[in-house]
Structure 1
Amino acid sequence: MDVLSDLLHRARARDAQIRQLIQRPPWSMTFADAPSLTVVATLGGHAAVRLDDDPQAPPVRLSAGDIALITGTSRYTIADAPDTPPQVVIRDGRKHVIDSGTGARQNLAPRTYGDGLPGSTTLLRGAYELRSDVGERLLDMLPPLAVVPAQPRTRAALDLLAAETAHEEPGQDAILNRLLDLVLVLALRAWCAAPQARPLSWYSALATPAVGEALRLLHEDPAHRWTVAELATRVGQSRATFAARFTSVVGEPPLTYLTGWRMTLAADLLRDTQETVAAVARAVGYEDAFAFSVAFKRGHGVSPSHWRRQARPGWRVSS
């Protein structure tokens, strides 16, 4: 499994909420408790996205086929135009109407709302909750608001997702989640390839011969007792050449990268499982629980047991 696929899988980027709006202007929706990652696509018409908790950030306009990836904000507004007054606020999963005179918003089909009249904007929104340290690594790839212009590959995926959104058949949630994942991956690829993007060093390294293969090996089996010599042999380079190239491209030596990845995995295991600290240590490649605790505290600032108590208040399982 490649590194990006591994991050998406481990970040639990699934079970997303998908909704479609088909509404004539003017319309405006504010999301007051934004999820960690939102995918917004304008299929027809125009829209504008504003990050409400960053008054210095100007609204960004979306044309048909554009995709916006929204992260790192607690409140944002999507509207037909930047100057449309607030009409609806979504908070705690509930709709609060501010302006009741803005036209009907009815259920048109499963997961589809609006008036459905000629001249409407068609908008797709998918919301992910990524509550993990691995999820943070994924979100670090993006600015708070990244816009991917329309292109043939993303448009084809969006059209298929829109067509499936309005259906309600057996297995529909599985289809929708996978199609939204497809849109997300295509958008991430396109964003990282854009001139204005500054992708993380590990993402740039994926296309580098030997280094990308080494990253894949580390992610496939992080608990293995890797050495620089073994990695170099596996990718067909000398130890010195491989170590220098990896450090230059990724920004840190191979085993330093591996330690950071292991600690990320360990943090999620401590939060999400009932395994003891010793068992978590073994799961990420440490036979010595003390050595693991030292490494974890160096990376996270607290011991594994303290981390677990902070992440899971009331935790009582033995460490």
Structure 2
Amino acid sequence: MSASDPLSDVLRSVRLRGAVFFYVSCGDEWASVAPPASMLGPVVMPGAEHVIAYHLMARGDGWAAIDGAPPVRFGAGDVVLVPHGDGHSISSAPGLVPACDDGAWVHRMRNDPKPIPVTYHHGVVHPGAELPADEAAAVLVCGFIGCDVKPFNPLLGALPRLLHLRADGVGAWVAPALQQAVAECRQQRSGGSAVLERLSEMMFVDAARRYLASLDEGASGWLAALRDRHVGRALALLHERPAHAWSVDALGREVGLSRSALHERFLALLGQAPMHYLANWRIQCAAALLRQSDASVLAVAQEVGYDSEAAFSRAFKRMVGEPPATWRRRQRRATAAALGAASLADASATRADPNPGTATDAD
């Protein structure tokens, strides 16, 4: 683990997986409503614990909104993300809703080659169709990012319900890179889907970094804690050496605060005590080891700072809901099932386009 970058530690440990599913061309008036990720996730990213939707405005402009919040306008090159999985809408004007779209086509076309072209025009959706380039008032690339929530994902709760990334921000490379990758994928170039997946993940990392940089001085939460001079250093130490026999006194000495002052700073920024955070991070590290290695439960327990297998198993079950060995078996079955589903989808795509190498560069 990194000695000074807890954000990278968490991003690695929660297993980001990206995908681009829809290439959306829109007429003069258009609207689309997406259900909560808890309903859509099992269809678009089977096996992912949590799904974050995102929309890149490749051309034109529009509005994005989640329930209970004012709409946000986003223009060409902008990206909007929905980190907490809220149901949301995107449209050409605030308040527009599609005349008829029950979403059944998403289920029906889930194994079609990606990205799936979709057209919205005057309240009517045409999945599988695409407007000619010169007729589209707006073009969007819509995709999803999957990640783990359990055992411990402090980043997710630190993000807003709707995150708007402007094209003129630090990560201005995101939009053109995604558009180029989508063009390659639509031309069925080898490796196009893999490029899109990695770019989707990089876009999310960039979003987290930009949101961190934008936080006000008085902000709270995990990302704000990373910027705090003392708590940020303490978090880096806990991530660097999770197995160390830390105490609040020892941690305070390392970062230049008294025991009580460090405790209060943790509570103010994170809502939890330092040793509580450490216990959560140890279990998250243990989960990664259980997933990625064949090490015994005892070896994993010792690797993350537990003296006995029994104490570790109790802590793991308390946080995750089942013993570590049982959890490991279930995770591996789920991974095997997801790989099997991906292989079937790839086979379906190959049957749909038996000569992917013959596409030209024309869009």
TM-score, with length taken from structure 1: 0.73
Q: Is the 8 A contact 1:132 1:268 kept in 2?
A: no
Displacement of 1:198 in angstroms is: 9.5
**Is 1:71 the counterpart of 2:83 in the alignment?**
yes
1:104–1:302 Cα change, 3 Å: closer
8 A Cα contact 1:49 1:59, kept in partner: yes
Distance in 1 (alpha carbons) for counterparts of 2:212 and 2:118? 37
CA distance in 2, matches of 1:291, 1:135: 18
CA distance in 1, matches of 2:100, 2:72: 16
Counterpart in the other structure of 1:9: 12
Whether 1:91 and 2:111 are equivalent positions in the alignment is no
Q: Which moved more, 1:264-273 or 1:64-73?
A: 264-273
User: Is the 2:26–2:121 Cα contact (8 Å) retained in structure 1?
Assistant: no
Secondary structure in 1 matching 2:17: coil
In the alignment, does 2:146 pair up with 1:129?
yes
Q: Secondary structure at the match of 2:24?
A: strand
**Offset of 1:258 from its aligned partner?**
0.5
223-232 or 92-101, which deviates more: 92-101
Q: After superposition, where does 1:232-247 map in structure 2 within 5 Å? A: 232-235=252-255, 242=262, 245-247=265-267
2:134 is matched with 117
Q: Distance in 1 between matches of 2:283 and 2:137?
A: 48
For residues 220-259 of structure 1, the aligned pairs below 5 Å read 220-235=240-255, 242=262, 245-259=265-279
Q: Pick the aligned partner of 1:43 from 46, 58, 63.
A: 58
The one-letter code matched in structure 1 to 2:139 is T
- Counting only pairs closer than 5 Å after superposition, residues 169-188 of structure 1 correspond to structure 2 as 172-173=192-193, 175-188=195-208
Q: How far has the Cα of 1:200 moved from its partner?
A: 5.5
Identity %: 31
**1:208 aligned to 228, 236, 253, which one?**
228
TM-superposed CA distance for 1:313, in Å, is 7.9
Aligned amino acid, residue 53 of structure 2: T
Shift of residue 195, structure 1, vs aligned partner: 6.8
SS of the equivalent of 2:142 reads strand
Cα distance change of structure 1 residues 138 and 210 upon mapping to structure 2, 3 Å threshold: closer
- Aligned positions, number: 306
Cα contact 2:77–2:166 (8 A) shared by 1: yes
- 8 A Cα contact 1:192 1:199, kept in partner: no
The DSSP-based 3-state class of the residue aligned with 1:12 is coil
Instruction: Please tell me whether residue 166 in structure 1 is matched to residue 169 in structure 2.
Output: no
Q: Which residue number corresponds to residue 21 of structure 1?
A: 24
Partner of 2:339: none
Aligned residue in 2 for 1:110: none
Q: 1:171 to 1:42 in 2, by over 3 A?
A: same
Unaligned runs of 5+ in 1: 108-112, 315-319
Aligned-residue offset at 1:153: 2.3
Alpha-carbon distance, 1:213 to partner: 2.1
Q: What's 2:360 paired with?
A: none
Aligned partner of 1:317 in structure 2 is: none
Amino acid paired to 1:205: A
Secondary structure class of the residue paired with 1:129? strand
Cα distance in 2, alignment partners of residues 283 and 128 from structure 1: 30
The 1:237/1:103 distance shift into structure 2, 3 A limit, reads closer
Q: 1:269, 1:75 → 2: CA distance?
A: 34
- SS of corresponding position for 2:184: coil
Higher helix share: 2
Shift in Å, 1:204? 0.8
Q: CA deviation at 1:175?
A: 4.5
Shift of 1:116: 1.6
Any conservation in 2 of the 1:49–1:78 contact (CA below 8 Å)?
A: yes
Give the TM-score taking structure 2 as reference length: 0.65
- 1:206–1:143 distance in 2 versus 1, CA, 3 Å: closer
Change (3 A) 1:24 1:228: same
